[in-house]
Amino acid sequence: MLAAGASRRLGEDKALLEVAGNPLVALVAQRLSAAGCTPIVIVTRAELAFACLGAAPECKVAINKSPQEGRTGSIQVGLLALGEDNGRLPKAVLIVPLDRPGWSMSTLEKVVNSEGCVCPEKDGRGGHPLRISGTEVKAIMAAPSDTSLRQLTKPQRILVEDEFLHLNIDTPEDMVELERWASQSDGLSR
């Protein structure tokens, strides 16, 4: 789970935004856990590490010391954290940006149960979560941390109808949509 961004446009830390009575990081972790995604690594900034761990104690927290260098650097930190436990890089991983939580549980299950590199698609646009496999893991680990993920992955797309798939929490207006998303169910049954 990628949560290392500075949240400049929103003005507050996205990981700790209260959604349906829980910090967003906890809600996303609960949804991933409900789908059998383990282990879950939250990649964040040092100043948010303890708050993220407190909100989602079932997760491992990895600190990106240079989040300003780009998302690929955060993914590299997460992949290394996953490899610490068994001494090798994972064969498949979900990349889940914290600020893109609008996927449904059925979409998550489709992505998890796919092979290779896949992501959901709605209205001709790819979305998250993104599943990567060994080829992409190796490419990401070999790339400079500021390389665009789009240069490193070419996911197959799974057509979905998730109303909020492209919700990207960057502004106060997006918070209104986030609350609307959260109010439509408990977050686990979507």
Summarize the confidence of residues 107-132 as an average pLDDT. 97
Please report whether residue 176 resides in a domain.
no
58 in a structural domain: yes
Q: Looking at 6-20, 62-76, 91-105, 144-158, which range is the least confident one?
A: 6-20
Residue 172 is assigned to a structural domain of this protein: no
Q: Which tokens belong to 21?
A: 């009575």
The domain in which residue 158 lies consists of 2-167
- Cα–Cα distance between 167 and 134 in angstroms, integer? 28
* Residue 32 domain-assigned (yes or no): yes
According to DSSP H, which parts of 7-162 are helical? 24-34, 49-55, 71-84, 105-112, 134-142, 149-152
Residue type, position 131, single letter: R
In a domain, 99, yes or no: yes
CB 111, CB 126: distance < 8 Å? no
Q: Residue 78 is encoded by which pair of tokens? A: 């997460």
Give the whole-angstrom CA distance, residue 60 versus residue 43. Answer: 9
Given this model, what pLDDT does residue 73 score? Answer: 96
Count of domains for the chain: 1
Q: State yes or no: pLDDT of 64 exceeds 80.
A: yes
Question: Residue 135 is part of a domain; what is its CATH number?
Answer: 3.90.550.10
> What's the whole-number mean pLDDT along residues 20-39?
94
